[in-house]
Structure 1
Amino acid sequence: MKKWTSLWIVLIFLLSACSGANGEEAKKQEEEEAVEKEPKEEVVEDEKADGETAEETNEEIETKETAEEDEEVMKNAEPQYELTGNWSFKPIGDANPKVALLTIDDAPDTHAVEMAETLKEKDAPAIFFVNGHFIDTPEEKEKLKQIHEMGFAIGNHTASHASLPDLSEEEQREEIVGLNDKIEEIIGERPVFFRAPFGQNTDFSKQLAEDEGMLVMNWTYGYDWESDYQDDQALADIMVNTPLLNNGANLLMHDRDWTNKALGSIADGLREKGYELLDPALIQTP
C-alpha cells in the first residue's frame, strides 16, 4: 500500500511540474508574441503616415504642374499689346483697348508677398520689379520665389537702385545683367521687363536691355511716393480717379505699407471703371 501511495505522490509531482513548465512556456510565448505584435502595429501606422505624406506631395506636384502648364500657355500666347512712346499700351489687332497695367517697384522689400497674395485673390495680374539688394538672404530669395510661383511676372529694377547716368558702362552692365543672372538662379528664368531707377535710362542701358531680351518700361503715372498720398484711402482714390487714367495706362506703385493697404481697392476701382487688368504675358517684348 505504501508503495502505491509513493508512486501516486511521484506521479502527481511530475504532472504538476509539467503543468508549471507548460504554463511558463505559454506565458513566455505570449510575451514574445506581444513584443512582436507591437512593432508591427507601429509599422502599419508609419506606413499610413507615409501614405498620407505621399498623397499630399502628389497634390502639391499636380498643383505646381498645372501652374507651370498655364504659365507655358501664356508664354506661347501671341502678343496682343505693344508699348507706345508715352509708356502706355495699345492693342495689336482687335484686342480690348481699355486696359491698365499694374506694376510694383522695389520688391520684394517688406510687403511684396502680401501684395501678391491680394492680387492673386482678385485674379489681378501685375509685374513685380525687383531690386537686387532685396534678394540677398535665403528669406528674401524665398519671398521672390513665392511671388513668382503665384504667377506674377518678375522685372529687373537694377541691383542697387543707382542712377544709371552716374555709372560707367561696366557698372551699368553689372547692375542689369548681374541682377538678371541672380534672378535666374532663384526662379529659373530671366526677366523680360526692365525699369530703370527714377526712369533714368542711358543709350547703353537701353541697348543692353534689348540685348538681354527685355522691354524697357517706365510708367504713365504714380503717386505713392508723394506725401499727400502716403495714406491708403487717398492713394486708392487718386490712382483710380486721376485724369491721367486712360486706355493702356501703366500704373507705377511701390512696396510700401500704404500701397499694400490700398492695392485691393485700386484693382477693384479700375475694374468698376471698366478697365481690364493687363496680363504682362500679352505684352510684346524684344
Structure 2
Amino acid sequence: MKNIIWLVLAIILLITGCADITSDAERESKQGEDQEKTQESTKNDAETSKNEPEEDANEEEQTQENRMDKDKEKTTEPIYQIDEETSSVVPVNEEGNEKVVLLTIDDAPDGHALKMANTLKDLEASAIFFVNGHSLDSEDKKTLQQVHDMGFAIGNHTYNHKLLSDLSTEKQKEEIVSLNDRIEGIIGERPQFFRAPHGENTDFSRQIAADEGMVTMNWTYGYDYFEPYMDAEKLTEAMVTGKGPEVDVPYSLLKPGANLLMHDREWTAEALPDIIEGLRAKGYEIVDPALIQTKE
C-alpha cells in the first residue's frame, strides 16, 4: 500500500515539474516576442525619423521652387517699350539695358522660319516672327505652332500682305482682325505686336491695332530684301555694321535700341548665326520681346 502511495506522489511531482518547465518556456517565448515587437517598433520609429528630414527637405525644395517661380515672374515684368516715332527699343526703368537690339522676322512662315527658330534657340536669342495669313492656309500652320511652342513671340503682318493705304477701312480691319483670329485658332492666343506691310500704316490701321491690344512698330533698318544683300556674307556684314553702301546707306544705322528687320528667306536663315554673334561681339544684347511693354 505504501508503495502505491509513493508511486502516486512521484507521478504528481513529475507532472508538476513538467508544467513548470512548460510555463517557463512559454514565458521565455512571450518575452522573445515582446523584444521582437519592441525592436521592430524602434526600427520603424528610426525609419520614420529618417524620412522626416527628407520630407522637410522636399518641402523646402518646393518652397525654393515657388520662390524661383515668383522671381521669374518679377523678371518678366516689362522693362522696355517701343518708341512710337522711331520703332526703337527704349528702357522704361533702370533694369533695362540701353545697348540692345530687337530681332524681327517678317513674312513667316515661308519655308525657313523653323530653321531660323532653331538657330535662335541654339544661340539663346529671341525674336518676333511677324506672320502673314495666306501662309497659314497651307501646312505652314504646323510650323507656326512649332515656332510658338519654342517660345517665340508671334506678330501680325496682315492676312494678305497688301498695302493698307490702298484699302478701304473695312478691308484694312479685315486684313488685321481676321489674321488675329486665325493665329489664335492655331496657337491659342492673339498677337501683341503689329507691323504693316512695307511699313505703310494708316491712322485707321493704327487704331485697329490698338483696339486689338497690339503694339505697332516698323523698324530702324534691314537689308535682306534688297538684291545686293540677297547673299549671306554680304547680308551679315550689312546687319552687323548697320551699313548698306550698295543701297545708299554708307553710314551705320546700328544704334542702341535698333529694331532689326529680317525676312523668312534662305540667305537670311544662312546668315542669322553670324548676325547674332556679330552683334553680340559689338556688345549688343538681343532683347526678349517678353520684356517689352504691350497694350494689355
Decide: shared fold, TM above 0.5.
Answer: yes
Residue in structure 1 matched with residue 188 of structure 2 by the alignment: 188
Q: Distance in 2 between matches of 1:141 and 1:229?
A: 28
Amino acid in structure 2 at the alignment position of 1:189: E
* 2:114 aligned counterpart, secondary structure: helix
Which residue in 1 is equivalent to 2:123? Answer: 122
| Residues 1:153 and 2:153 are matched in the alignment | yes
Instruction: Give the drift of 1:229.
Output: 0.6
Separation in structure 2 between the aligned mates of residue 125 and residue 168 of structure 1, nearest angstrom:
35
Report matched runs for 1:49-68 at 5 Å.
none
Alpha-carbon distance between aligned partners in 2 of 1:193 and 1:228, rounded to the nearest angstrom: 29
Alpha carbons of 1:172 and 1:264: their partners in 2 closer, same or farther (altered >3 Å)?
A: same
Match status 1:266 vs 2:265: no
Instruction: Say if 1:182 and 1:74 are closer, same or farther in 2 by CA, change over 3 A.
Output: farther
Runs in 1 of length 4+ with deviation above 2 angstroms? 73-77
Question: What's the TM-score, normalizing by structure 1?
Answer: 0.73
Which position in structure 2 is the counterpart of 1:40?
none
Partner of 1:172: 172
Please give the TM-score of this superposition, normalised by the length of structure 2: 0.71
Other-structure match for 1:28: none
Change (3 A) 1:106 1:278: same
The answer to whether the aligner puts 1:92 opposite 2:92 as a matched pair is yes
Q: Sequence identity of aligned pairs in percent?
A: 61
1:77 deviates by: 2.5
Following superposition, the deviation at residue 175 of structure 1 comes to 0.4
Does residue 1:214 correspond to 2:214, yes or no?
A: yes
In the alignment, the residues of structure 1 paired with residue 75 and residue 157 of structure 2 have an alpha-carbon distance, to the nearest angstrom, of 25
Report the CA distance between 1:140 and its aligned residue: 1.2
Q: 1:255 aligns with which of 243, 257, 264?
A: 264
Give the partner amino acid of 2:261.
L
> CA contact under 8 A between 1:74 and 1:282: conserved in structure 2?
no
Work out whether residues 156 and 193 of structure 1, in 8 Å CA contact, stay in contact via their aligned partners in 2: yes
Structure 1 residues 220 and 279, CA, compared in 2 at 3 Å: closer, same or farther? same
- Matched with 1:281 is 290
Counterpart residue number, 1:233: 233
After superposition, give the CA deviation of every residue in 1:182-230 in whole Å (9 maximum; x if it has no partner): 0000000000000000001011100000010000010000000111111
Paired residues in the alignment total: 215
Q: What does residue 106 of structure 1 align with?
A: 107
Q: CA RMSD in A?
A: 1.5
1:200 and 2:200 correspond: yes
- CA offset at residue 270 of structure 1? 0.7
Q: Distance in 2 between matches of 1:277 and 1:76?
A: 16
| Counterpart for residue 6 of structure 2 | none
1:110-165 deviation digits (Å, cap 9, x = unpaired): 1011110110100100000000011112x211000010011100000000000001
Bigger Rg, which one: 2
Sort the Cα spacing of 1:173 and 1:75 in 2 relative to 1 into closer, same or farther, 3 A: farther
CA distance in 2, matches of 1:189, 1:110: 23
- Counterpart secondary structure, 1:135: helix
Partner of 1:134: 135
Distance in 1 between the 2:211 and 2:87 partners? 20
Q: Give the match's secondary structure for 1:184.
A: helix
